[in-house]
Amino acid sequence: MIFMRKNVNIAGYLFIFPFGVIYTLFLIYPIFQGFFISLHDWDILGSKIFVGGKNYNNLLVDPKFWSSLWHTAYFALLTTPVLLALGLGLAMALNKGFRGRDIFRAIFFYPYMLTTSIVAVIWIWLYQPLFGLINFYLNKLGLPAHAWLAEAKWAMPAIAGATIWWTVGFNMILFLAGLQEIPDELHEAAQIDGASSIQRFYCITLPLLRRTVLLATMLQMIASFKVFGQVYIMTGGGPYGTTRVLVQYIYETGFQWYRMGPASAMAYIGFCIMLVFSLIQFKLFTRAD
């Protein structure tokens, strides 16, 4: 019996082993190594001088770092409300009894399948100042044209617009899943009691979707701290650094200016901020199952 037990134990480790090796090498080790690098002056060749917390201290007084955090937050502020409202609206419209429901779902979800670069390339063309569709139709409506991606005021909203087009389908799917958990009986009962559809939305749908709304918010916060591809391709962080988000700054510092220490320190600070959102998200996720 004791022998059996031991055998069973070893089997457990063997099943974990392949995952464990790869996970340790490419996730656990880099996390510690990254922190180690953040405590050094470290160039692209890997030559290093220990500097302690200097990289962190420097970041706290680096206006570019603070502005990149602000741009990240600004991106989150521009995208999150629209993604939530539109995602929920589309989910409710397409939840049931809607003619052509599957086709509409496919239309809203398909852009999410595209890779960042393709989304960026399509939208650069739409935003094109002289021949772009957007300026042409704005002009027709009597509205002023803009060099969307080249004007400090418009570059980030333009990136946010492209991102909303890209990912609203994902939010729609999240909300559809949430809506399907609400039992029909609740709505029926309320209807019999004479509740209007607006009352039912505020008193049934919204409270029962609270978890999904919070989850979608947290996921978008996390995604904002990871946003990079669209920015890198559409504006490169410009004009004048007005769209330089956190990951863009990490990339520039590390792989264009070869200052690995500060870049790692930045990644760590960003990670700590994200951790808060991640923990909330994780709590929501585990409670679901």
Partner 1 sequence: MSIGDRRVKRLTSLLIWFLTMVVAVIWLIPLIWMLLTSFKHESMAITLPPRWLPIPFTLENYLKVLTDSLIPRWFLNTTIVAFIVTFGVVIIDSLAAYGLARIDFKGKNLVFWVIVSGLMIPDQVLIIPLYFLFNNLNLLNSFPALILPRLALPLGVFILKQFFEGLPLELEEAAQIDGCSRLKMYWYIVMPLSKPAIAAVAVFTFIATWNAFLWPLIVANTEEMYTIPVGIANFQGVHGTEYAMLMAGSMVASLPMLVAFLFLQKQIIKGIAMSGIKG
Residues 97-126 interacting with partner 1 (rule: CB under 8 A)? 98-99, 104-118, 120-126
Q: Which is nearer to partner 1, 156 or 246 (CB)?
A: 246
CA distances from 4 to 10, 15, 17, 216 (A): 10, 17, 20, 47
Q: Is the peptide bond before 262 cis (omega within 30 degrees of 0)?
A: no
Does position 257 interact with partner 1 (CB under 8 A)? The reply is no
Does position 154 interact with partner 1 (CB under 8 A)? The reply is no
Which segment (52-60, 69-77, 144-152, 246-254) binds partner 1 by CB under 8 A? 246-254
Q: Which is nearer to partner 1, 10 or 203 (CB)?
A: 10
Cβ neighbors of 76 (< 8 A, separation 6 or more) are 220, 221, 224
Residues 155-194 interacting with partner 1 (rule: CB under 8 A)? 165-167, 170, 173-174, 176-177
Q: Are 116 and 162 within 8 A, CB to CB? A: no
Does position 81 interact with partner 1 (CB under 8 A)? The reply is no
Residues 11-40 interacting with partner 1 (rule: CB under 8 A)? 11-16, 18-20, 22-23, 25-31, 33-34, 37
In angstroms, the CA 106 to CA 111 distance is 9
Cβ neighbors of 205 (< 8 A, separation 6 or more) are 92, 179, 182
Q: Which is nearer to partner 1, 14 or 141 (CB)?
A: 14
Does position 258 interact with partner 1 (CB under 8 A)? The reply is no
Residue 132 beta carbon to partner 1: minimum distance, rounded to whole angstroms: 8
Does position 149 interact with partner 1 (CB under 8 A)? The reply is no
Residue 266 beta carbon to partner 1: minimum distance, rounded to whole angstroms: 8
Q: Please pick, from the candidates 39, 76, 155, 222, the single residue that binds partner 1 as defined by CB under 8 A.
A: 222
CA distances from 133 to 21, 94, 140, 239 (A): 51, 29, 11, 22
Q: Which is nearer to partner 1, 116 or 243 (CB)?
A: 116
Q: Please pick, from the candidates 49, 143, 152, 275, the single residue that binds partner 1 as defined by CB under 8 A.
A: 275
How many amino acids of this chain bind partner 1 (CB under 8 A)? 99
Name the residue among 219, 111, 206 with its Cα closest to residue 164: 111
Phi, psi at 259, each rounded to 5°: -105, 85
Residue 46 beta carbon to partner 1: minimum distance, rounded to whole angstroms: 6
Residue 289 beta carbon to partner 1: minimum distance, rounded to whole angstroms: 6
Give ∠ CA 178-181-186 in degrees, rounded to 5.
120
Q: Please pick, from the candidates 73, 82, 86, 214, the single residue that binds partner 1 as defined by CB under 8 A.
A: 86
